[in-house]
Amino acid sequence: MKKSLIALASVAACFAMNVHAQDAITVVNFGGANANAQKAAYYEPVAKDGIKVTAVEYNGEQAKIKAMVETKNVTWDLVEVESPDVARGCDEGLFEKLDYSKIAPKADLLPSAVTECGVGIFVWSTVMAYNGDKLKKAPTSWADFFDTTKIPGKRGMRKGARYNLEFALLADGVKPADVYKVLATKDGAERAFKKLTALKPNIQWWEAGAQAPQFLVAGDVVLSTVYNGRIDAANREGRNLQIYWPGGIYDLDYWVIPKGTAKKDAAYKFLNFAMKPENQAVYAQNIAYGPTNKKALSKLSAKVLGDLPTSEKNAKEALQFNTTFWADQGEALEKRFAAWATQ
């Protein structure tokens, strides 16, 4: 009898361990203030629902996901990706096709948040920013960003073609509504690179999102392109960094489930939790990124809403990132940029 009880206890313990293992998932994000906000809104609270999250940071390297899927050794269960990578990865068969009945009602979400392989997490913007304690004459246009005579000093820019080519055309007088139409032409791309070339000696490149506000605080640059959430995080720590909103490029980040993960069911449970309006509201309160569940907006204060890229004032002259354009032409433009950057 005693042996039987011991055997039963052993089986029960193994079963419990397996259930626990199934509900332990690895979620990959871009780090920094965004990761901290996700931790407060999702990772820690979801533990009460039996999901243990291990957070991993990366810089968007899709090659890592591709290697995992192709070798059938998938150790990431949910990955945050930028919009062009959703479409590209979906086409390449790297991500699971999503079942929204397990996530959230599609009608509750922003239309752009609903894609075949990725669900939108938040709306963010790449903007121009400056240090209000160091720069007394604020910029009034993207032309000012490229004019080192009017505003002397270094400029911080993300090392890559995305956003920089659009900003270059805005600075060269192209209207926001026409940017992608112009950039899609050979002459338009040439025009953007020519504008960047003139500024090149004064550019200080950044690759990780945390670097741009650090450059501004240190005075290494006088103006920088930057993710708006990074400015919000710095100002919560007592900085006086200011955003120039017109011409900012807003976009969504998405969660995808790498194809072949053994934790797909647990990943869906996490997504269901994270996409609830009350939890999305907590996220927006921790970082100035707009929720993708529309019902979350009613749960936010006027002050929080006013700092989001989705607010009426901030979005008035904004440019929506064209995912289709970058999915179609991005690879060629990024290769050209990489070659240009080393010249």
Average per-residue pLDDT in the chain?
A: 92
Angle (nearest 5°) at CA 16 between 14 and 22: 105
Query: Does residue 14 register a pLDDT over 70?
Result: no
Query: Does residue 150 register a pLDDT over 50?
Result: yes
- Find out whether 26 and 54 touch, Cβ atoms under 8 Å: yes
Average pLDDT over residues 177-203: 98
pLDDT band (50, 70, 90) for residue 136: confident
pLDDT at 162: 94
pLDDT band (50, 70, 90) for residue 33: confident
Q: Which of 182-196, 292-306, 316-330 has the highest mean pLDDT?
A: 182-196
pLDDT band (50, 70, 90) for residue 327: confident
Between CA 259 and CA 67 the distance in angstroms is 11
Query: Does residue 9 register a pLDDT over 60?
Result: no
Quick one: CA torsion of 31, 80, 252, 281, rounded to 10 degrees?
A: -70
Could you give all domains of the chain from N- to C-terminal order, each with its CATH number? 2-123+252-314 (3.40.190.10), 125-250+316-341 (3.40.190.10)
Between CA 152 and CA 283 the distance in angstroms is 37
Give percent of the chain above pLDDT 90: 83
Query: Does residue 98 register a pLDDT over 80?
Result: yes
Q: How far is CA 140 from CA 136, 247, 316, in A?
A: 12, 11, 15
Query: Does residue 2 register a pLDDT over 90?
Result: no
Longest dimension (CA), the chain: 89
Query: Does residue 141 register a pLDDT over 90?
Result: yes
pLDDT at 310: 85
